[in-house]
Structure formats: structure tokens, C-alpha cells
Amino acid sequence: MLDTPDERRFDTITALLKEMFQVPMALVSLIDGERLFFKSVAGTDCRQGNRLHSFCDASLRAPNPTMMIVPDTLEDARFVDSQFVKGAPHVRFYAGAPLVSSDGHVMGSLGVLDIKPRAFPAGALNIICNFAELVVREMERDKALERKQQLKTVTALEVRRHTVRALSCFQEAVMLCNTAEAGWPMLYCNDQWCSTTSVSEAACLNSGFWDLFRSAMGEQGRQLAGQGVAINKPFTTVVEGGACAFLTLELRPATSDYLSQAVPHIAIPNFVEGLEPADLAGVSGFYFAVIKRSVRSASEGPTPPGSVDHSAKRPGVESVTSNSGSALAAQLRPASLGSSGGSSGGLSQPFGLELPEDLADLKIGPLLGRGSFGRVHRGTWRAATVAVKIMESWVDPSAEAVEGPLLEALLSKNLTHPNIVQTYDYAVQLLEPDSASNSTSSIGDDWDDTLQPADRGSKRQQQVWLIQQYCNHGTLGDAVDRGWLLNRRDRASGPNMLAVLHTAMEIAAAMQYLHQNNVLHGDLTCGNVLLVGVRHDSPHDKRSFSAKIGDFGLSRVAASEQVKTATCGTLSYMPPELVQDQLLTKAADAYSFGVLCWEMVSAQRAWAGRSSVQIMYARSQGERLDAPQACPSPGFKALIGRCLQDDHSQRPSFDVICEVLGGLLDEEIAAASQTTTSS
């Protein structure tokens, strides 16, 4: 779609987002080898630019689809040299959702921009993510039918390997309305909505929903729908109107994590806050409606008014079509997340999640991250903001050995250190077959969730839920990328050694504690070092954060000096003995720590821009990470070199590392004090 003319189907979305978010610019960006092409723009005449230093290019570097949020471009080292920051339109704020193709590649982004620093709550940013999904559907719609015919000749498992989006998504009729205003004005509808209802786009966008459609239950149905909106819940309802005798609609808050079940899930960084109803005051009334069933005439057998259409049932979606006069709250299923009375605070149940009974007071919010381990959501628990980690695995209920996600839960619950992410509680549940199918991400024409391990035998699917401390300042990787460890937000300014050493000391102290308790982390990466906002008392520590180690999914309790493991972590942080011989030792963690220190001093990611295959090849040819030449501290440079030794017996223990770092910190503080006194 590069270099193609303007199209109404995309321009409608960018114009709407510009209005909804009250920003001067919104655009659809597509990325090429060296340049950006803006397929749709609202509020600017710019149509292309350089890929280097672009927001869209930076979003490609995330291991999983994640929003790119830049509250202030002048405080982010990645973008201070961007042509769009240094020159017109002088962008100061950017929020963009990746455009994820059906084969899993990021094609570009849908973003909103401002010329002043801004901040939006996580729920509001989900609206951009949902519209990014609609943009991709428009881009790929013409090829969807062809793909559907091709995939009829392959098995469901082969389909799953080649697509991340259900083909049925492309036929979904979608509409957005504002339920906070009288009549529910319609703000957006796709072509499928217009063709299904036989109502033109112009007629829809100039009318309220209740002007064109009426509840199959009359006024009672409209009141029940209003009650569903009032508590910010997804629900289904049956209406009449247009060319249809009956329409079964699924309505979901636009602030929800996903527009549909079988689509890529986009995470929102943990430094974005705002979970309470007051934070979503401006956007909580926006609802997406998806047509799940349409009946042209009563003779086709419509859903009788007042009954539940089970064919439209989805996890987390409640029916509001009951004939009874009971209030909607009484109809909500007991297992619904966030339904413990009153407003849900904008936290609606994600697809495929049933709350464990032991965590009845937990409310789930937007997605924080997703990986092979499972997913992490924001949440509220006992009036506090928390991170909710949900891991799934197939287990033998009769097995005595504790491993996998359950081992992580037990380990993290019993680890107490100021620089380790605290686990407050956990719960374990075995899913029933129906629930298990809802929780997995299998793919077919409608993603009927039939894929399960062929050799599972007596195994059951297990969910482990961890309620953990919420770290609100991103990760160490964010700090490296954004220049938080530099003297200025300019990579040429060099590392701020006091900030680097303080951060390294916090990480090392946590690792020293783990090793003293014979716990091997096994996956110490910049993404697993989380940052918490804090104001330090020391005049020599001007950081706005403190570092904490998390994610013990690959950790082991070491009964001996080394552990043979078939599971591995992140290649760019793995030492030779772990890559070649699958040997996990305390020295392996020291190597990973050396890589972290290398990144903090260099202000860049190790092996940046290279795939796992490229890294493996480079290392097989003798290429290795060496202590960075630009490191202004000879002692720290020497420590990095020792940690990165190929011979694991030559690497220092964390007892030694902490001792060395303590001495280096004392030297830096003394030098800083002397400079302050002399000036």
C-alpha cells in the first residue's frame, strides 16, 4: 500500500481519533526499508519521512506487539534527533499502536501526536489499539478470501503457525457509538456494518443508534442496555432495524483490551497509569458494537425477544436480553472479573479468563505484556494497583514434582528483598475442558479453539495467577533506550556513572540474595529488571526510579553447583556454557549481569538489530561483547570484562560484584562531592 492515494476508509479513522483525543495530528504510518509513508494523515500535510529515529521504527524493536508511548520527545534520547521533533511539526508527544499483519509482522503504526507533552490513561490508549486492528482488517480484507481458500487445504495446526488473526474477523460488522450522549450517536462504521444493516455510512454517522434501531424487548431492553453501559460491562442484546428483522449485537467498551477474541493482543507499557473511573471520564462512554447474528425476516428463526442467544456468547460478555424485570447486576455471572459490586472502574473481563475463587476481590485491567509464559495485566487488588501474571500449562494432576509456572509462584512468593518484585499472593486452578478451550489461542476459520496437545493423555490445563507489585516506571530496557542513564538526553553526552552504578548495585544486591538462597535466575535481561518510581534521599542519587528483578519463570533451585536445563532464556544474555551445553550456574547469572552493565554504559541494547540466528552465527565466528571502550570508569569497565569471560570459572560471584560496586560508588560520590565543593 506504499505510495497509494488517500482512501476514505483510513481517513475516517485518523480524523475520528484526532477528534476523540483532542490532538492536532493523527496518522497511519507504513514502514519501508529506509522510509516512512503516511497512508492517512489528519492535521498535517507531511506524507513521508526517514525511517531513522522515527516512532514507527522504534516500535518494531519490541519482542511482542506493544504500544509506543512517548510522553515528551525532548526527554527521550531515541527521538531528540528525529526530523519530526527537530523540525516541523515539532512533535512533543506520540502514542502509536503497531499494525500487526495476519502473519505476525508489524507493517507500521496508527498514532496520535501533539506539539506539547501529554498523558492518557491505559484504557484510552486501548481505543487506539482497537482502531489499529480495524486498520489492518481494511488493509488485508481484499486478500482474506484468497487466504481462506488457501488454508482449506491445510490442517488447523498449520494454520496456527502461519496466522495470528482469525479469518472470520474480516467479515465482522463493526460500529462505534458514544453511549454517554442521548440516542448514542454513531461515530464510525465499517462497510460490513452498512451492507449487513442496509444503512448507508452517511445515515449512520448522522444518526443516533436508537434512532435507527430499537430493542427487541422494547423500552425494557433499552433500559437494560443502559444499565450495562452504566457499569462499563460488555453485553449482548437483540435489536430490530435497517433491513434486518433482528440483529444480535455484542457491545464492548472501546477501552477494552481487544475488539475480538481471535486477534493479536497489543500491550501497553507499565509506566502508563490511570485505572480508576475518573481517569477514563472522557472516553468511558465509547462502545464498539459487533454484529454476531443478523436475521433478515422473522421466518428465518430469529432469537425470540427476551431470550439469550448462546451463539453470541463470549467469555466476559453478559446477556442483557432476559425477559425478567431484574436488574442487570443480578444477571452477571459470579465468575465475571471486576463484578464485585459497583462500578468496575473501567476494568472489564478479558477474553478467556475466569477468576479463581481465591482471588474474588481482584479486578483485571489492560494488558501489560504477553509472551510464551502467558500474559500480564494491570489490576486492582485490595484497593492497590497490582500486576496480574497469568500463566498456562498442561500438567499431570497426579504428578508430585513442582515445576513450571507453579514453581515460579512458590519461589516468588517466598522471596523478600527490596530489589525483587514482590509477589503478594497466587492462585492455581485446573481448567475444565470448555474453559481450557476458551483460554487458548487456537486458530481456524472462526478460531473454534480445538487445538490441544495431541499427547496430553491425562494432562489438564492449569492456570497459575500471580498478584505482584506494580512497577510503574517501565523496564531497564526502557531506561537504556530513553537515555535515563545518560548525563543528558543525548547519547553523545556519555553515561551518568552515579546513575549507572546505583542501578547496577540494586540489581547485584538482589542477585546476591537469590544466590545466597541457592536460586538461579536463568533469565536476567533488561526486560526482567523492572523500575519503580521513587525519590531517593541521597543527594548523589538523582534517579527517579529504583530497580527490581522479576520473572522467575526459568529460575531453578540449585542443589549443586550447576543445573542441566533444556529450557533457555534470551540468547543475547546467555553465556557460552548455557548456549552450548545447557549448563545453568550462578556464573551464568553473572554473565547476564555483565551484559546489563554493558547496555547501561553503552546506552544501547546488546546485539541490537540482529536476529537469534545472526547472533548465533556471530558468536560462532568468535564475535563477542567486550567491555565498552567509552566507559569513563576503569574499575567498572574491568568488572564488566570479568563478568563477560567465556570461562565461567573466571567470572566473579555476586558477593565480589557487590563489594567492587560498593567501592566504585564510594569513589564516584567522593569525586562528585569534591567537584561540588570546588565549584
Where do the DSSP E strands lie in 329-422?
Answer: 362-371, 374-381, 384-395
- Cα–Cα distances (Å) from 114 to 13, 24, 96, 312, 499, in that order, read 17, 6, 12, 40, 30
* Residue 319 main-chain phi, psi, to 5 deg: -85, 140
Type of residue found at 131: F
List of residues 6+ apart from 158 with CB closer than 8 A: none
In angstroms, the CA 295 to CA 128 distance is 31
- Angle, helices 586-602/634-643, rounded to nearest 10 degrees: 140
Q: Which helix (H) or strand (E) holds 93?
A: strand 93-100
Opening angle at CA 221, ends 215 and 222, nearest 5: 75
Q: Whole-angstrom Cα distance, residue 73 to residue 87? A: 12
Residues 305 and 245: beta-carbon distance below 8 Å: no
CA–chain centroid gap for 348, Å, is: 16
User: What single string gives the DSSP state of each residue in 466-525?
Assistant: EEEE--TT-BHHHHHHHTTTBSSSSGGG-B-HHHHHHHHHHHHHHHHHHHHTTEE-S---
- Residues annotated in the binding site, as ranges? 389
Q: Distance of alpha carbon 622 from its chain centroid, rounded?
A: 36
Phi, psi of 265 (to 5 degrees): -100, 130
Closest CA to 549 of 659, 654, 412: 412
Terminal alpha carbon distance of the chain: 59
In three state form, how does the secondary structure of 648-659 look?
HHHCCCHHHHHH
Q: Report in angstroms the alpha-carbon separations of 298 from 121, 215, 301, 304, 537.
A: 44, 15, 6, 10, 72
Beta strands in 143-256 (DSSP E): 174-178, 186-189, 213-215, 235-241, 244-253
Nearest to 370 by CA among 10, 67, 34, 25: 67
Q: What is the dihedral of CA 648, 654, 660, 666, to 10 degrees?
A: 150
Q: Which residues, at least 6 apart from 528, have a Cβ–Cβ distance to it below 8 Å?
A: 475, 521, 549, 550, 551
Long-range contacts of 396-402 (CB under 8 A, 24+ apart): 396/457, 396/458, 396/459, 396/460, 397/430, 397/458, 397/460, 398/458
Cα–Cα dist 221/324, whole Å: 10
The full DSSP string for 546-614 is EEEE---TT-EE-SSSEEE-S----GGG--HHHHHH-EEEHHHHHHHHHHHHHHHHHTS-TTTT--HHH
DSSP 66: B
On whether the CB atoms of residues 290 and 253 are closer than 8 A, the answer is no
Q: Which residues are annotated as a binding site for ATP?
A: 389
Opening angle at CA 261, ends 160 and 293, nearest 5: 115
Count CA atoms within 13 Å of residue 333 on its CB side: 16
